Amino acid sequence: MKNNGGMPLIGDRFPEMDVRTTHGNMNLPEDYSGKWFILFSHPGDFTPVCTTEFYSFQKRYDEFRDMDTELIGLSIDQVHSHLKWTQWIEENLGEDIEFPIIADGNGRVAETLGLIHSGGGTATVRAVFIVDPKSKIRAILYYPAELGRNMDEIVRMIKGFKKSDKEGVAIPANWPENELMGDDVIIPPASSEKEIDKRMKQKKKGKIDCYDWWMCHRKA
């Protein structure tokens, strides 16, 4: 993968790296080959917003695993800090953090992924990488320090990507509760006159719905 000193781009292969985590040493993305995984960075342990996020990720962990998706956290804190923090979460909030957290004490991983803001000191920014089973980065999300992540949206994105990959379709806004199409999916626009005619015939037969030849949708 090409990395020019900044954050990798959507469509790039996730960069190979050996990392130290709360579950021991791991190799990314090899250890998650054949699976979806979500790597999310946080500015630091023992911080309020990050604590709510880790709690929320853990509460949804079974749902992520049901979608064949793994989670892995990251910050520049050391392993012992991660372990004390997850212990605090379990003792005080009642959730055992089951997914690994990368201890990036020297900032090497954060630098590779472009997670150190030039004007924000040494703490990692709040980012999310969604990586598919072929180790390709499918989405990158950035959040400011004061705004926690929305787990529903991250779950929705995994479901949408899997649906898109399986059926060769696109996913409308707010799916599966789109204001125009409900839980339908979007058929890719026709690329020839012959295909336009075919779409219009399918519409007449009730197989698909269209607002126009370039904006057709169907049941998933």
Q: Give the pLDDT confidence of 158-168 residue by residue, as tens digits.
A: 999 999 999 99
* Domain ranges (residues) in the chain: 17-151, 168-220
Q: Given 3-state DSSP classes, what are the helix, strand and coil percentages for the chain, each rounded to the nearest 5?
A: 30, 25, 40
The vertex-178 CA angle with 141 and 167, nearest 5°, equals: 75
Q: Are 180 and 209 in contact (CB under 8 A)?
A: no
Structure tokens given for 184: 């339908």
pLDDT value at position 124? 79
Judged by average pLDDT, the poorest of 40-44, 116-120, 139-143, 155-159 is 116-120
Helix extents (H) in 31-174: 48-59, 61-66, 79-93, 108-113, 151-167
| pLDDT tens per residue across span 87-97 | 999 999 999 99
216 is catalytic: no
pLDDT value at position 1? 39
Q: What is the mean pLDDT of residues 45-62?
A: 96
Q: Which CATH architecture has domain 17-151?
A: 3-Layer(aba) Sandwich (3.40)
CATH topology of domain 168-220: Antioxidant, Horf6; Chain A, domain 2 (3.30.1020)
Q: Are 127 and 143 in contact (CB under 8 A)?
A: yes
Catalytic: which of 38, 50, 76, 154?
Answer: 50
- pTM of the full structure: 0.92
